Amino acid sequence: MKNPTPIVEIAATGRFLPDNVVTNDDLAKTMDTSDEWIRTRTGISERRIAPDGLTAAEMGASAARQAMERAGVQPGEVDIVILSTATPDRWLPSTACDTQALLGCDNAVAFDIMAACSGFLYGLSMAEGYLAAGRGEIALVISAEKMSTIIDWDDRTTAVLFGDGAGAAVVRRSNGSGRGILSTHLRSDGRLANLLYRPGGGTIDPLSQGVLDEGRHLMKMQGREIFKNAVRNMAEACDLALQKAGLTSDDIDLLVPHQANIRIIEATAKYAGIPMEKVYVNVDRYGNMSSASVPIAFDEALEQGRIGPGSKVLTAAFGAGLTWGAMTLRM
Ligand code: UT7
């Protein structure tokens, strides 16, 4: 199969990470865990935790400003702002609208998407569709996550895994350069929603003193089941995305996977046939930042020269929903 011609490309990326570093040893002071357990079971050594008062919109806007500066794009030129988050600043309006206001993207349509850890890939795909339909020239895809606000800090099985941060990409039409998104495979399975969810605080179980007292507004996860589904679905998505692009794993210069657990990353890479030297890993420094993990990893890989002009990249993600997917790109 011939390589498809990309319709849109990533013009530039950006990231924001809060300064506050929380190590495994810090966590072991307040909960029954250890640096050894967290490192060997997850690969995480530390994570960033945002201070009170720093919003997801502000983190997202910082990442987006960096991406826009690098792309040479002015706020008024942006046609669409797609923001993915599992931790909206408020239930109404969208965090995307708050971010749009902070950025001054006055000519843009702005809205949130909720696809948990897969949100950046879903966002890129939506931006591609919008631009391909001729509705605009420039999209901002932002992932901003303040996971620390939905973690149950008394639950060691989830509290040690997550961190805060934001990543962003300026997406524009490809103009025949050959750079851009080559293929996409996205899926969801709502039948497994209760493997990773927040039971209370929405319309099913509105916020009440009981919800707060019992912590039903906080994240619950069946870790082992999520683990199995993550590996199976990301591996299959990688295969299908490669097939759709007419590529094999040998063609890939770098795999940029969602950063949930080093064991999930290693298993996905193995199934995809990609050696670990060609896999970008930062889960050790940041933990799982939900949808912000992929764009932050992407941005670091670009900055470090692990990917550059002409590189072929495979990216994959998996999260609550369930949601998952993979994408191939030529940079
Ligand atoms: O972004 C997508 C969302 N999330 C994920 O992808 C996460 C997917 N799941 C995982 O990464 C792993 O399942 C975990 C890291 C969450 C757990 O690792 P595991 O190897 O599956 O451990 P486990 O849940 O089977 O627990 C093993 C033991 C248990 O003790 P017992 O029952 O064997 O005595 C747990 O209570 O480890 C215990 N444990 C801990 N011990 C120390 C669980 N969490 C901790 C902890 N510190 N933080």
Structure confidence at residue 5 as a pLDDT band (50, 70, 90): confident
Q: Is 88 left (phi over 0), alpha (psi -120 to 50) or beta?
A: beta
Q: Residue 261 CA: which ligand 1 atom is closest?
A: 11
Mean pLDDT of the chain: 97
Does the pLDDT of residue 1 top 80, yes or no? no
Q: List the residue whose alpha carbon is closest to atom 36 of ligand 1.
A: 157
- The partner residues of 254 in beta bridges, in order of sequence, read 313
- The SS3 assignment for 48 reads strand
The full DSSP string for 141-189 is: EEEEEEGGGTS-TT-HHHHTTB-EEEEEEEEEE-TTSS-EEEEEEEEE-
The domain of 56 spans 8-176
Which pLDDT score is estimated for 104?
98
Any ligand 1 atom below 6 A from CB of 262: no
- Could you tell me if 172 and 185 lie in one domain? no
Mean pLDDT of 68-85: 98
In this structure, is residue 96 part of a structural domain?
yes
Q: Which CATH number does the domain housing residue 301 bear?
A: 3.40.47.10
Q: Residue 226 CA: which ligand 1 atom is closest?
A: 8
Mean pLDDT of 277-286: 98
Which pLDDT score is estimated for 175?
81
CA of 263 to the centre of ligand 1 (A): 12
Give the model confidence (pLDDT) of 19-65 as tens digits.
999 999 999 999 999 999 999 999 999 999 999 999 999 999 999 99
Structure confidence at residue 2 as a pLDDT band (50, 70, 90): low
Mean pLDDT of 182-188: 98
CA of 231 to the centre of ligand 1 (A): 15
In this structure, is residue 273 part of a structural domain?
yes
Give the model confidence (pLDDT) of 222-263 as tens digits.
999 999 999 999 999 999 999 999 999 999 999 999 999 999
Report pTM. Answer: 0.97
Any ligand 1 atom below 6 A from CB of 223: yes
- Could you tell me if 124 and 153 lie in one domain? yes
- Could you tell me if 160 and 186 lie in one domain? no
Give the model confidence (pLDDT) of 84-126 as tens digits.
999 999 999 999 999 999 999 999 999 999 999 999 999 999 9
In this structure, is residue 2 part of a structural domain?
no
CA of 120 to the centre of ligand 1 (A): 25
Among 176, 196, 220, the domain boundary falls at 176
Give the model confidence (pLDDT) of 158-169 as tens digits.
999 999 999 999
- Could you tell me if 167 and 195 lie in one domain? no
In this structure, is residue 3 part of a structural domain?
no
Q: List the residue whose alpha carbon is closest to atom 2 of ligand 1.
A: 319
In this structure, is residue 1 part of a structural domain?
no
Burial 60-88 (b: 16+ CB within 10 A, else e): bbbbbbbbbebbebebebbbbbbbbbbbb
Among 120, 147, 176, the domain boundary falls at 176
In this structure, is residue 194 part of a structural domain?
yes
- Residue 254, token pair as written in the block: 């770098």
Q: List the residue whose alpha carbon is closest to atom 48 of ligand 1.
A: 156
Among 176, 195, 228, the domain boundary falls at 176
Domain count, the chain: 2
CA of 141 to the centre of ligand 1 (A): 32
CA of 294 to the centre of ligand 1 (A): 22
Which pLDDT score is estimated for 4?
74
- Could you tell me if 166 and 20 lie in one domain? yes
- Could you tell me if 96 and 22 lie in one domain? yes
Crossing angle of the two packed helices 293-303 and 56-71, in degrees rounded to 10: 30
Any ligand 1 atom below 6 A from CB of 195: no
CA 212 remoteness from chain centre:
28
Structure confidence at residue 3 as a pLDDT band (50, 70, 90): low
- Could you tell me if 101 and 204 lie in one domain? no
- Could you tell me if 18 and 140 lie in one domain? yes
Q: Residue 158 CA: which ligand 1 atom is closest?
A: 16
- Could you tell me if 195 and 167 lie in one domain? no
Q: Report the residue count for the chain.
A: 331
Residue % of the chain over a pLDDT of 90:
97
> Which are the catalytic amino acids?
117, 258, 288
Does the pLDDT of residue 70 top 90, yes or no? yes
